[in-house]
Amino acid sequence: MDRQTSSAPLDESTRRFLSRGQYGLLIDGRMGPGKSNKSFDTLNPSTGEVLARLAEGDETDIDRAVRAARAAFEGAWSGWTPYERQALLYRAHDIIERNFDELAEIESLDMGAPISRTRSSKGALLKMILFFASQSGNISGQTLQNGLPGEVVTMSMKAPVGVIGGIIPWNGPLVGQWWLLGAVLASGCTAVLKPAEDASLSVLRTVELLHEAGLPEGVLNVVTGTGSVAGAALARHPDVDRIAFTGSTATGRKIIEASAVNIKKLQLELGGKSPDIVFADADLSKAVPGAAMGVFANSGQICFAGTRVFVERSIADEFSARVADFARGIRIGRSMDPDAQLGPLISRLQLDRVMSYIDIGSREGARLVCGGERMGGALSDGYFIAPTVFSHVDNEMRIAREEIFGPVLSVIPFDTVDEAIALGNQTDYGLGGAVWTRDISRALKVVQKIHTGVMWVNCYGLIDPLVGFGGTKHSGYGAKGGVAHLDNYLYSKSVYINT
Ligand code: ADP
């Protein structure tokens, strides 16, 4: 496959940011090298070229950042009123809005998403900041009745938990980090952020901008570095009260183990193998592109990607053919190609992993309908894989059981609604899922019976912070969004007052 690619010129501010070349740790409001002075390259996945050099933080640096976050938590920041924190979030909203073009370009160059996709996330990002601004004045306890003798007044109060360790993945940090940043700023906590080694730049730039917007020093600190050193040091640090983690289930398990050190509270959004169920009565003009982009969006690097597409047997062949046609029509290109709809995978490692799953699928007897290969020509230096469709997949095959995190869609036929539900639930994961049908009663039955944290009907992947989403089973716990989100950053205190 060979699709040519073009590239739009970069914004002046992006060029200025990238011309620094080397980036330090951002601790206590200042950017500087780590203790060891070690650094590592981060690559542009569209070309395989070095994009920037990042400081490689270690345990000592994490400790310094945690101390800064603790001092800020116990300092003037704790006296900020909800209105002051809300005003800070509004200023954050405005500075992110003003600098969005730069942030979007940095993000696309760093993690590979096409610039059209990153630019179109502006509304979602700004909405998220507004959501958290609205939450900062919304923290409340209750007065409670009691059966105690005498005149005792009882109530519950909420207070910020303290220092948060935020371990951020690479599949969309520009927006994704706000589940954490917004909650920290709204609740009055402080944080140490450990961005993913493959995509740290939009996190660094965002926190720099927040300082320009009046963020006090030490409230948000960024330590770049590897997961096994900096991430692990953060997860086991005895003075971190809570970890918010989004990433693989395997790493999530390690974080759960490390949290035992000081009984850290955890919010975990982990892997998925989400079922997307298409009935024969569905409007295929919507279900075909909807299910396809439910997998291929962000080149399949979305935790709730609907990778297992269960299709009613009577339309399974037609559906597979149409979804393959759709996949062949997707324009693949480098992240700065304004016409690209899909970009590369994040890294060589991820490319090899996904290619090995494609090989496994073929060997297990699934039928490769389209894709299954690396992109050639102008794209051969980057980590591109053509959108891939397998048909005649069995739910027991590894490609239907294990998270691939790449643009690989499996069509699995079914005969009855009960069979679709049973197959959909036959997985360790429980993150997302969808159902496509004109029969709303049947849709509701599926919604009720599928064990996942979010379900979509006749659409895929819509998220609003007011509504939120979350995971169950091996996909994690601690909802993102909705009123419950901020509760994860607060603890509740029962108060007995003898009057
Ligand atoms: P992937 O395997 O897809 O890269 P990970 O779950 O390993 O996903 O990565 C998500 C985030 O977790 C990254 O910021 C990574 O550096 C971090 N991480 C990886 N290993 C660990 C670990 N042992 N402890 C803490 N964080 C880790």
- Specify whether 262 is located in the same domain as 282: no
Q: How far is the CA of 169 from the centre of ligand 1 (A)?
A: 7
Q: How far is the CA of 192 from the centre of ligand 1 (A)?
A: 15
- Specify whether 111 is located in the same domain as 187: yes
- With a 6 Å cutoff on the Cβ, whether 228 touches ligand 1 is yes
- Is 470 inside a domain boundary? no
- With a 6 Å cutoff on the Cβ, whether 232 touches ligand 1 is yes
- With a 6 Å cutoff on the Cβ, whether 346 touches ligand 1 is no
- Specify whether 244 is located in the same domain as 344: no
Ligand 1 atom nearest residue 258's Cα? 24
CATH number of the domain within which 329 lies = 3.40.309.10
- Specify whether 480 is located in the same domain as 335: no
- Specify whether 290 is located in the same domain as 163: no
pLDDT (tens digit per residue) in 27-40: 999 999 999 999 99
- Is 113 inside a domain boundary? yes
CA torsion sign for 103, 37, 244, 51 is: positive
Ligand 1 atom nearest residue 232's Cα? 24
User: Which are the contacts of 233, defined by CB distance < 8 A and separation ≥ 6?
Assistant: 58, 59, 62, 63
Q: How far is the CA of 245 from the centre of ligand 1 (A)?
A: 9
Atom 14, ligand 1: residue with shortest CA distance: 196
Ligand 1 atom nearest residue 225's Cα? 16
- pLDDT at 9 exceeding the cut of 90: no
Local confidence band at 8 (pLDDT 50, 70, 90 cut-offs): confident
- Is 418 inside a domain boundary? yes
Per-residue burial over 204-230, b if 16 or more Cβ lie within 10 Å, else e, is: bbbbbbbbebebbbbbbbbbbbebebb
Give the amino acid at 89: L
**489 is in which domain, residue-wise?**
11-270+475-496
- Confidence at residue 4, expressed as pLDDT on a 0 to 100 scale: 43
- Is 5 inside a domain boundary? no
Q: How far is the CA of 314 from the centre of ligand 1 (A)?
A: 42
What CA–CA distance (Å, rounded) separates 2 from 171? 25
- Specify whether 266 is located in the same domain as 283: no
User: Which are the contacts of 253, defined by CB distance < 8 A and separation ≥ 6?
Assistant: none
Q: Classify the phi-psi angles of 236: left when phi > 0, otherwise alpha if psi is within -120 to 50, otherwise beta.
A: alpha
Q: How far is the CA of 233 from the centre of ligand 1 (A)?
A: 12
- Is 286 inside a domain boundary? yes
- pLDDT at 453 exceeding the cut of 70: yes
- Confidence at residue 5, expressed as pLDDT on a 0 to 100 scale: 54
What CA–CA distance (Å, rounded) separates 409 from 354? 12
- Specify whether 254 is located in the same domain as 347: no
Ligand 1 atom nearest residue 252's Cα? 6
Taking only Cα atoms into account, the Rg of the chain, rounded to an integer number of angstroms, comes to 23
Q: Distance between terminal CA atoms of the chain? A: 79
- Residue 15 has a CB neighbour count (10 Å cut-off) of 12
494 alpha carbon, distance to own chain's centre: 34
- Specify whether 119 is located in the same domain as 57: yes
- Confidence at residue 1, expressed as pLDDT on a 0 to 100 scale: 39
Local confidence band at 248 (pLDDT 50, 70, 90 cut-offs): very high
Q: How many domains does the chain have?
A: 2
- Is 6 inside a domain boundary? no
- Residue 198 has a CB neighbour count (10 Å cut-off) of 19
- With a 6 Å cutoff on the Cβ, whether 300 touches ligand 1 is no
- Specify whether 169 is located in the same domain as 288: no
Reported in sequence order, the residue ranges of 2-151 that DSSP labels E, i.e. its strands, are 22-23, 25-27, 30-32, 39-44, 49-55, 142-144
- 476-477 vs 388-391, strand pairing mode: unpaired
CATH number of the domain within which 73 lies = 3.40.605.10
Q: Is 197 annotated as catalytic? A: no
- Specify whether 253 is located in the same domain as 306: no
- Is 381 inside a domain boundary? yes
- Specify whether 77 is located in the same domain as 32: yes
- Is 320 inside a domain boundary? yes
- 476-477 vs 265-269, strand pairing mode: antiparallel
Altogether, the residues listed in the chain come to a count of 499
- Specify whether 327 is located in the same domain as 452: yes
